[in-house]
Amino acid sequence: MTPEYFIRKVIVSAQENVRRGGGPFAALVVHHGEILALGTNRVTTDNDPTAHAEIVAIREACRQLGHFQLTGCDLYTSCEPCPMCLGAIYWARPARVFYAATRYEAARAGFDDAFIYEELTRPGPERRIPLIHVPDETAWMPFQAWLDHPDRKPY
């Protein structure tokens, strides 16, 4: 199976998802040449702003594997991941990510991920959604509890 095979498959799923009332996005997690999970965009159908295709596919693949890492897996997505999904990819750590449409094509269809990419580079208080630091003398305590915990499971 070539990357082109899975890419074409994920594009078809993205197109089908529109007919089912979802957004025009799909993602696949492939493990040893087999499809482990298919995710499609369910933001409006599930009232879940985090239900992008990649997130749905990552969660389902981890459920299948019984682990919180996608070691050795490849992720195929119909469109270049947005910052949220790219962050999720870094936490899930698949081997490689393949995508078809670019963020510029997504923008032409009204999905302006580029705006979020820009916002991420701005200082917190200057962002469209203000990010406000509230210093608190107890802020370190959860981390101290973590470091002191004998059975902590790093991820």
- Please list the active-site residues: 54
Least distance between a second copy and beta carbon 32 (Å) = 18
For position 106 contacting a second copy by CB under 8 A, the verdict is: yes
Q: Which of 1, 71, 72, 93 binds a second copy (CB under 8 A)?
A: 93
What burial letters (b/e) apply to 50-83, b meaning 16+ CB within 10 Å? ebbbbbbbbbbbbeebeeeebeebbbbbbbbbbe
For position 123 contacting a second copy by CB under 8 A, the verdict is: no
Q: Are 24 and 17 in contact (CB under 8 A)?
A: yes
Closest alpha carbon to 6 in 29, 32, 39, 40: 29
For position 72 contacting a second copy by CB under 8 A, the verdict is: no
For position 20 contacting a second copy by CB under 8 A, the verdict is: no
Count of residues engaged in binding a second copy, rule: CB under 8 A: 94
Q: Which of 4, 71, 72, 104 binds a second copy (CB under 8 A)?
A: 4
Q: If DSSP codes are grouped into helix, strand and coil, which group holds residue 84?
A: helix
